Structure 1
């Protein structure tokens, strides 16, 4: 019996609740709260016309709305406020609401309070979704009843009644979700950290501090898995509360998940176990070896080595992550829409042995792009640019050309739309070439999210 859930239902019934943002996670949240007898007002910056399809889902439910540019002006007199993850916690309207007695929380914070099952959670700048998916698949293959959610796209609070103590919950958590968290998972994984989301976070320090909440509230019985090869995450051991396990692809570590030659191995400091040869892993790229090492370190106490091997030799990857779309006249098209930062794109380009035609650019998150210069010179034969960050990516290439003298023959093509970019890239190709869309940027200047961008890319490629 989940006593915390019973108390939550009793306490929230009849309460006046505001839900800020009518997005993926909040649609099921609103429906769930309504079933519990809550007085709900839904807030969103979009107007009624844009939200018609969403509002239609609430037909017959007594939901009130505050919509449009000034939607937060009515944020007064609520008992509980559910904030959407991308919204800063210190907005003046939220600060005033707290002063007036409102409890400001989030779908994920409440889920952590109520979940009876063991939680595995993954955060980082790159590799979160693949590592989360690997952990989930390994646990499922081992026979556990598992739940996958969080930033990976599936909210779970409305399913809390179905989750049992013996289940396993696997979550991908963003810095936005973690920023105000007061609880941490039983097994926390930090894949790596690099500048990201500086359009929302006030500084890199704030971004890192938000990420730290994935482990700062752990106990001595919990586990923290961190990347020894990353300068930032390596030092997390200093304020870790639980057992720390490192993973490393390039450094020698006494214990943890590591490489020994071409073999992924795990050592507990006493015994070393061979897991799998890197050549047997289906999904390409050294960054995916790192994702596997992180996942192995997380699940090694819960699954058998044969289970890990079965997943590694059969799992073909997550959609929008170096996803082969089609081959046309000898030209291969890859969709890497998930690459919303320079480090992701660098990892994607380094997955290929040959130079590629790169389609890049998108929404500007106010992060530096100079770090891309070297990989652009060494791995790109033609650069096709779109979106707000196109000038920054071009400058990264030009600076590296000026510095090294290499890459002077790389064509740079500017386009207004993704369709034009795909067509220009294909016109520039010949049989044997690889064309990859790996934007190094967020999608919000042209698309709702990276999934929509990736699907449009695939539609355009498949229509060629």
Structure 2
């Protein structure tokens, strides 16, 4: 049995081992929080002092820190009182297992934060889109609530914020599958859980999709009837959880019809039954709120029993017939698109005794590109409505929100050439989505070309969608060195795509070379699709090097 920390445990007489300092800020944040509170803090990391120099420098003022670098010592884990481990370090790790066997407390920054923070927590997870959604939720809720704590997998340690935000009444956290697995030890889920999308990721760690999604489910597994879950109805895994009644909290769903209908290489052939059956099932269930985007208009179906939003939405109410016509139009488009027989048509009955209907302004003046980002906007908007943020404040925020760093970040435009940094696209399907965003939103086709920088270390993930998107939309592909690059190149050659140069190790030189061959209206996109650790410390260093290289171009 794993012993975890609780709020009432005194740390002042304790020796604590922190396993993993790292360079992303998470380990440093935990160390800064713990060092003033504990008797002794032992930081152990397999990296050298030189490699960790920037992190160690931030901790130089603490005299009670000892370092064990380039190794872990089993005796440290046995003789300590408490072990804090980094996300992604399994409880079966021999050092962590030794601590558990010797009845030591084992915890993480996220788990301990959930114990210490008494106010509600909004948690966001997903295979892609969680950082953008997390940042946007924070910006939207800040329109209504002061002093919100932002943190989690977004590389901000929330423990550090506790000292600075003692009066905070809300936290917004991005939660990875690893962090959720650690949180399960505490049997806690956030008050509001948002799931963006689920597709294959980290299979080199998990082995199967089922194991990966089981960890993701912890975001709602310990919720109750007073909590809320917001899901993307278009996603197969999330809809399956809804149908199986795995979600016990109050349910809110969104569906971006425009993303579903988008003709692109990244989507399998759409089946009209999939989408219409989901909408029908959700409208027949005991829902509170449903947000749907079609032709950029945003529609809301609200339960009449959910009265909190009556005043906020009253200026946007429409008749049931108006909403019914939209549903019929969607059905017609999908049926024609898929050549479905009229006799097979699915009927969606809308109960006007249970629901009210609203139409919000269209999503046209938004800065973040791609239909997938408009899906993220719907999820964040649903959360904002839950906290009764006004429609005016929601839309004013959307018009200025440019997204977090390294997520389809527009770094620069030089000589009419756009440089886009999507270094956090570390899975192949995410690259397919990003390519699609470039072709549909930036209108590359017919005006310009996409030069794609991709590749890295393989994570045992499917690459078919990425390969097809490259074949159909990318003018030239440049592959950074790595095992994933070799696999991708082989796949592309099999399907008849040969505009490839590979074996690159120096990213700044590669950026300069591509720039010299690009012309007005072209896009140079860094969207790797693979891990980075063979050439870079992590994906964030890869992104920073790209941005620096772009800034130095003349």
Give the TM-score normalised by the residue count of structure 1: 0.91
- Mapped partners of 1:148, 1:179: distance in 2: 20
Unpaired runs of 5+ residues, structure 1, are 402-406
Alpha-carbon distance change, 228 to 72 in structure 1, aligned in 2, over 3 angstroms: farther
C-alpha contact 1:257 1:293 (8 A) present in aligned 2: yes
Moved more, 126-135 or 11-20: 11-20
Alpha-carbon distance change, 66 to 144 in structure 1, aligned in 2, over 3 angstroms: same
Residues 253-268 of structure 1: pairs in structure 2 closer than 5 A:
253=279, 254=283, 255-268=289-302
- The count of residues paired between Structure 1 and Structure 2 equals 453
Could you tell me which residue of structure 2 aligns to residue 39 of structure 1? 40
Could you tell me which residue of structure 1 aligns to residue 430 of structure 2? 344
Could you tell me which residue of structure 2 aligns to residue 18 of structure 1? 17
Q: CA deviation at 1:420?
A: 3.3
Q: Quick check: 1:136 aligned with 2:143?
A: no
Q: Quick check: 1:190 aligned with 2:191?
A: no
Q: Quick check: 1:233 aligned with 2:319?
A: no
Aligned to 1:247, which of 251, 254, 258?
254
Q: Secondary structure at the match of 2:124?
A: strand
Could you tell me which residue of structure 1 aligns to residue 205 of structure 2? 200
- Mapped partners of 1:390, 1:297: distance in 2: 39
C-alpha contact 1:115 1:163 (8 A) present in aligned 2: no
Larger radius of gyration: 2
Alpha-carbon distance change, 60 to 461 in structure 1, aligned in 2, over 3 angstroms: closer
- Mapped partners of 1:136, 1:157: distance in 2: 17
Aligned to 2:400, which of 314, 318, 342?
314
Q: CA deviation at 1:164?
A: 5.4
Give CA deviations for 1:266-298 in whole Å, capped at 9, x if unaligned: 222412333331222221110111101111222
- Mapped partners of 1:11, 1:143: distance in 2: 31
Q: CA deviation at 1:316?
A: 1.8
Q: CA deviation at 1:143?
A: 3.9
Could you tell me which residue of structure 1 aligns to residue 341 of structure 2? none
Q: Quick check: 1:416 aligned with 2:418?
A: no
Could you tell me which residue of structure 1 aligns to residue 29 of structure 2? 28
Could you tell me which residue of structure 2 aligns to residue 458 of structure 1? 547
- Mapped partners of 1:288, 1:133: distance in 2: 12
Output the aligned Cα RMSD.
2.2
Unpaired runs of 5+ residues, structure 2, are 258-274, 284-288, 304-354
Alpha-carbon distance change, 26 to 373 in structure 1, aligned in 2, over 3 angstroms: closer
Could you tell me which residue of structure 1 aligns to residue 469 of structure 2? 375
Q: Secondary structure at the match of 1:320?
A: coil
C-alpha contact 2:147 2:167 (8 A) present in aligned 1: no
Could you tell me which residue of structure 2 aligns to residue 432 of structure 1? 521
Could you tell me which residue of structure 1 aligns to residue 176 of structure 2? 174
Q: Secondary structure at the match of 2:378?
A: helix
- Mapped partners of 1:275, 1:144: distance in 2: 26
Could you tell me which residue of structure 2 aligns to residue 404 of structure 1? none
Q: CA deviation at 1:10?
A: 5.3
- Mapped partners of 1:367, 1:92: distance in 2: 27
- Mapped partners of 1:432, 1:128: distance in 2: 30
Q: Quick check: 1:292 aligned with 2:377?
A: yes
Give the TM-score normalised by the residue count of structure 2: 0.77
Q: Secondary structure at the match of 2:525?
A: strand
Q: CA deviation at 1:395?
A: 2.5
Give CA deviations for 1:245-285 in whole Å, capped at 9, x if unaligned: 11111345335121133212222241233333122222111
Q: Secondary structure at the match of 1:340?
A: coil
Q: CA deviation at 1:361?
A: 0.9
C-alpha contact 1:126 1:343 (8 A) present in aligned 2: no
Q: Quick check: 1:324 aligned with 2:415?
A: no
